[in-house]
Structure 1
Amino acid sequence: MLNLLKRKDRYWVKKEYLMRVAVVLFSFVSVSLIILGAILFSFYAVVESNVKVAENDLNKIKDSTNNKHIDDLLDINNVVDQKISQFYSYQFNQSDIVERVVRVEDEVEGVESSLIDVSVKESDESVYAEIEVRGLAETRDDLVAYQSSMKDNEFFDSVDIPLGSFAKNNNISFTAKIKTVDLNNYFENYEQ
């Protein structure tokens, strides 16, 4: 239908059409910005009120004279401080532990690990690591050699590979649970 109009009229119709599209687009953007502003303001108001409530609660706690649990809180604070200072006194990091597992793996042909998961645990008298190694052994003999090599290494305290892993002869998928000796003592004595 646009082609039926004169050239001058076509120009004005196109211009008017573009103007309407621009007005609709501008209106949509304006309404969207207004809605977004209202949403952001409501979130700000909620956060601001939560901050004021928290400040009021903190002031009430500070001003209260009947704080019966202050000794317990101080004890907990001291324990946390000791744990943090002990954390910084560790003589090792996880890469040192993984390096020793990989060293043993490199000594044994036919065993490849696909996952080495290290979690450092702490008891009253020592710090040790529990390591879970998942992998694939080509033969049962390779897996036995891997287990005995781990047990012979003075870094590892115990090595447990489930008996079911030894049922197959070839392409054995295994999971080994390994516990280390006291890590701080080991790295103090053997690494210096």
Structure 2
Amino acid sequence: MPGKCNICGKVLRSGSDDAIRAHQRESESCRAKIGDSKESQDIKALEARVTRLIEDGRRLGTVGCSFEESERNARERKEAEDALKAARRHSKAEKKEVKKLARDSMSAANWTQALLKGDERFTKADDSIETRLAQHTVGLQTSASFRLKREEVEGEVVAKRAREEESARQTALAAEMKKKARKIKHEKMQRSMLSFDEYA
């Protein structure tokens, strides 16, 4: 008994669910019809409006009309054409986005990347004071030992920040010294090129 695909509307030899699913999975021509979307209906309505305004303009030109009517028709036609262009541009951009999304979703590299990103959340550890304190104070503890451990962890964090700031300051100072040395060397070379009495 023949069947019909509910996506593309093609009549198939077999009406079994397996045959229909195989057709939808393997056929390149099994695509939903674009003409049924609301967006294409809007574009068709805009095209019909532009066509009607062009016909009205031709009729006004042959029958004779006032200058204001002619100007109004030209203005409405221009607005309708601009709206049609914008709708087509938007439709084209959306279609490109959908195709890109479909291409990316079927990419094995994208799947692998998504899996690796999912695993990253388990390997990344938050390095905040609360996280470190929770790691160091597992189990039952007295309030005094908890307070001591908290002060120790906060001291470590403050010391680490101070070391990082000092390292950044030292790096900036070294870069500044290197820049000054380069500038002095460049000035010395420029002076040697300009002074004639040294070589005479």
> Structure 1 length normalisation: TM-score?
0.30
> Structure 2 length normalisation: TM-score?
0.29
Between Structure 1 and Structure 2, which shows a larger proportion of strand residues? Answer: 1
Between Structure 1 and Structure 2, which shows a larger proportion of helix residues? Answer: 2
Of the two structures, which has the highest relative contact order with CA contacts closer than 8 Å and spacing of 6 or more? 1
Which structure has the larger Rg over C-alpha atoms?
2
